[in-house]
Structure 1
Amino acid sequence: MVNLQGKFLIHAREMGWTNPNKRVLIALSGGVDSMVLLHLFLTLPEDERPQISAVHIHHHLRAASDQEATALKALSVRQHFQLIIRDWAPEVHPKSGIEAAARHFRYQQYGGVMEDVQADWVATAHHADDQAETILMKWVRGGEIAQLRGILPVQSFGSGELIRPLLSFSKADLRDYAMNQGLTWFEDATNQSQEMTRNRMRQQVIPRLKVENPQFLAHVEDYAGQLTDLLEVANLQIERLLAIILTSAHPLVGSVVVLSGCTDAQQRLVIQAILKQLNPELSVQTSQVAAIQRLITNQYRTQGTIDLGHGWRFFREYDQFGAEKVKPDVKSEQSSPDFMLKLNHWYRLSKFEEVGLMTSQPNTGDVQQVWLTPSAFPVGVRPWQPGDKYRLANGHHQAVARLMVNDKVPQSQRNSVNVVSTHDGTILQVIHFRRATQNAADQRQTGSQPYYLVLRQHYPKGD
């Protein structure tokens, strides 16, 4: 039989949990596992025993819950430990997803009570069988390899740490200990239900694996430890790569050139880390990582976006990549104007800029002289369109789309590019980018006269 009490003491000393000046908050459900955990802490040598508090979550899901809460109160008085009970009111229970909601409520309350009693640790009674169940469930469901570490022995939580001191012991070890010590506990009948995946793993799958190899639980623990070590080393390497690749954290922007220079495996791991850094709630799919990797390494596709879900998207714009919240696709008058230019009037192009077509040359602003015949009117400002071209100095024409490619205008900004166009569609100017070239023939056309296309800064009062 396992000397559980002796092994627990050794483990507690190694982990630093035997400090009488600190406080442990035990998550006490009333089941055999948590009752054993409480007893192990209560029976530590007095000079090595931390101050002990316990928190019980009354879920109001079973008829026996009231009786269990009353019994735990009585136990706390007899054993001289502080017990805090938190109620999950029936009126806030969801109609579906009750198990996940209950877990969320529990840990939320653990954090709050931890702060209230100024505890250093919250201790839960997860054991080796729980670990095996968790890892098998995550393996079956699929996901990120880091999830196969299962339940972590120690992790940051609230104002201190969340600890699982019983992960090295099996369910059988805990039950034997409870019976030998004469402990009382409560059985949750829902643990026998075959509707829950965890219960099927517990009652059907894991017992068969133990028959195949009695050391099954020990091997699971060993693999989880090895994987944790490997991921720790890998994460350090990824952090070093991120420091080189990312040029900005807020907003998240990085170098395509540097990331492309990494090995394929490094690229995939870095991309996963970037997405997790962006939003820890994102479920990173292998297909998404592969799509991003193809976008980054494609020499012929220098721009593109990939939907990440949850309102996020990944983008590449030439030599940069990044991720951002998706903005609503709403056109505004400022970013996409569409209006006619009446002679000698100013029109708002943006908040701080105006455009006008003048009959005499002004002494301010960015001025372009244009020769126009009466048939060229009305002249207007509008968003560029596929097929728009402007005349070059050599007499040839270039597409506005090609201009934006050559000038490496990001895809996200192209919809806000505007042109000044005559009635017959001749482009006079790609605003902020190029002026169309006119020649002597334009001046010699019948009725042709000089006009002045002007952009000027304008600051409204108060700005």
Structure 2
Amino acid sequence: MLYSHFCHQILVNPPTTKRLVLALSGGLDSRVMLDLLARFIEQHRDYRAHAVYVHHGLSTNADTWAQQCVTWAMASGISCDIERVQCELGGGASVEQAARDARYYALSQHIQCGDTLLTAQHADDQIETVLLALKRGSGPAGLAAMPVLTTFACGQHLRPLLSISRADIEAYGAQHQLQWVEDESNQDQRYDRNFIRHQITPLLNERWPGIRKAVTRSAHLCGEQEGLLEELLSFQLQQARQADGSLRIAANISARLGMALIRQWLKQQAVIMPSLAQLEQIWFNLVLAKVDANPQVCWQQYQVRRYQQQLYLLQQWPDISDWQQPLRLNQYCQLPQDLGVVALKPTPSATLRPPYANETVSVRFDYLGPEIKPQGRSGKRKFKKLLQEYQLPSWLRRRTPMLFYGEQLVAVAGVFVVAEFVATSSTTTTAVEFEWLRA
């Protein structure tokens, strides 16, 4: 029964490449799926399979588990890679969330266009996910919990066992005399999911034996409602979304519609969704803020900012205003935080004079000096005012590289060149360009 169900799920949701990638942890659920997958590819010779073990480094047993997974996969005729990751903690994220994010990012690197990722979540996992969503006060999107099929990377993500109980999976493992690993952290009830698994779900199943099917049905209905909402808002969202990815929303629409559009905009960008309170802050404190305000709403590692009546989704980065590096002619300088590289080099269209022999050249992200006059301007202005006039958003003003000769500001990449450093026939015959290649 379990094998036929597994085969049906794959055959009705086939990968275009006929390639299946299994997330293999070595626990009971994924170990059973490895056995099911081996039987499937033996019967369906046009399919290919590959397994990936994600090594988080959170357990002293992880090396042993990794090797055990490789051994089991090879014995099943399936290739297996070990992906080592580091969990990035901070920004309010739990260890569970950090491990999950790292795991799915690592798995995405093994998905070729048209592949299917297989994970072994089951009906009991779905109950846990719905209860956790209730604890967070989630709406229909959160209560939809885990779908059977969704897009993932450049392929799709299939959960073939989502309607199967853990008891049925245990019975299959015992019947086929499979071995699996036991993660000691699964017994630690400090983690909410483990508390629900050991203390709550058994009581629910004892009281209402049909709870798994009921929860699965409710999650499906919530998913249908969320899908309908997404479909109804698709045209308005397309109209509101700008070429640079920002969102322009008219302040005269209702708060309910406005927040729904913001939610769908964030969902399209695959971020951790803000809470209802944070979503209300985005609407009332950003969209409805005064024209000259510079508000922001932050959660996890994200922030939403407003500029010229448009909303921008940004990552929260550490301050780099004190960062500086020397820059040599015709050599690239790597910038921090995935900002790309800069170079100072001669080009036919360049207007900047090269540095004199006694001038040190550096790249920085902050300027606190006197008023300056950009090329083509009639007078000097304060630096902050200039950046406003050149319409540089506030969050980019200390993330845009600046060129210095000694302690004098020479140019702001992509914005302006300071007038006194413009090349003239009396100063040099070779002009240079301050080039910024973004990542």
TM class by smaller structure:
0.5 to 0.7
Structure 2 counterpart of 1:353, one-letter code: R
Matches within 5 A, 1:280-319: 280-281=270-271, 283-294=273-284, 304-309=293-298, 312=303, 314-315=305-306
Deviations 1:355-390 (A, max 9, x none): 59xxxxxxxxxxxxxxxxxxxxxxxx999xxxxxxx
* Amino acid in structure 2 at the alignment position of 1:11: Q
Q: Deviation per CA, 1:184-212, whole angstroms, max 9, x where unpaired?
A: 22222321222211110101111122223
Counterpart in the other structure of 1:351: 375
Which residue is equivalent to 2:189?
194
Match of 1:56 in 2: 53
> What SS is found at the alignment partner of 1:55?
strand
Distance 2:61 2:110 in 1: 24
1:439-458 map, 5 Å? none
Secondary structure of 1:242's aligned partner: helix
Aligned to 1:78: 75
1:210 aligned residue: 205
Q: TM-score w.r.t. structure 2 length? A: 0.64
Aligned to 2:246: 252
**In structure 2, what residue type is equivalent to 1:84?**
D
Per the alignment, residue 169 of structure 1 pairs with: 164
Which amino acid letter does the alignment assign opposite residue 308 of structure 1? V
Q: Deviations over 1:209-234 (max 9, x none)?
A: 22232111111211221122211121
Contact 1:124/1:164 (CA < 8 Å) preserved in 2?
A: yes
RMSD: 4.3
Q: State the distance in 1 between where 2:13 and 2:188 align.
A: 36
Q: Does structure 2 retain, via aligned residues, the 8 Å contact 1:24–1:119?
A: no
For residues 301 and 83 of structure 1, do their structure 2 counterparts lie closer, same or farther at Cα, with a shift above 3 Å needed?
Answer: closer
Alignment pair present for 1:222 and 2:222: no
Q: 2:174 is matched with which residue: 179, 195, 198?
A: 179
Aligned counterparts of 2:22 and 2:211: Cα–Cα separation in 1: 28
Aligned with 1:110: secondary structure?
helix
SS in 2 for 1:54: strand
Deviation per CA, 1:287-318: give whole Å up to 9, x if none: 344345446897x966544321268554486x
Does the Cα contact within 8 Å between 1:352 and 1:459 map onto a contact in 2? no
Structure 2 match to 1:24 = 20
- Residue 114 of structure 1 contacts residue 159 of structure 1 at CA under 8 Å; is this kept in 2? yes
Aligned to 2:257: 266
Q: How much has 1:350 moved relative to structure 2?
A: 4.6
Any gaps of 5 or more consecutive residues in structure 1? Answer: 338-347, 357-380, 384-409, 414-456
Task: Indicate the residue corresponding to 2:12 in structure 1.
Answer: 14
Distance 2:194 2:128 in 1: 9
| Separation (CA, whole Å) in 2 of partners of 1:121 and 1:268 | 33
Distance change (3 Å), C-alpha of 1:177 and 1:308: same
* Percent identity over paired residues: 24
In the aligned structure 1, how far is the partner of 2:284 from the partner of 2:290? 9
The alpha-carbon distance between structure 1 residues 267 and 249, as it changes in their structure 2 partners (threshold 3 A), is same
Q: Is the 8 A contact 2:111 2:153 kept in 1?
A: yes
Higher strand share: 1
Check whether the contact 1:30–1:186 (CA below 8 A) recurs between aligned residues.
yes
Q: Distance in 2 between matches of 1:107 and 1:150?
A: 17
- Check conservation: 2:247, 2:265, Cα contact below 8 A: no
Deviation at 1:63, TM superposition (A): 5.3
d(CA) in 2 for partners of 1:62 and 1:460? Answer: 59
Instruction: Give the number of aligned pairs.
Output: 344
Q: Does 1:4 align with 2:2?
A: yes
Tell me if structure 2 keeps the 8 A contact 1:303–1:315: no
Aligned to 2:107: 110
Question: Once the two structures are superposed, what CA deviation does each residue of 1:270-293 show, in whole Å capped at 9, x if it has no partner?
Answer: 23334556x654653433443454
Distance 2:191 2:82 in 1: 27
**Alpha-carbon contact 1:353-1:458 (below 8 Å) kept:** no
Aligned partner letter, 1:354 = S
Q: Given that residues 22 and 117 in structure 2 are in contact (C-alpha distance below 8 angstroms), is that contact kept between their aligned partners in structure 1?
A: yes
2:345 is matched with: none
Check the 8 A contact 1:302/1:316 in 2, yes or no: no
TM-score by length of 1: 0.61
What SS does the aligned partner of 2:203 have?
Answer: helix
Q: 1:195 to 1:275 in 2, by over 3 A?
A: closer
Please say if residues 25 and 122 of structure 1, whose CA atoms lie closer than 8 Å, have aligned partners that are also in contact. yes
Q: Structure 2 unaligned segments of length 5 or more: list them.
A: 322-364, 384-390, 395-418, 425-430, 432-439
Structure 1 position 171, deviation (Å) = 0.6
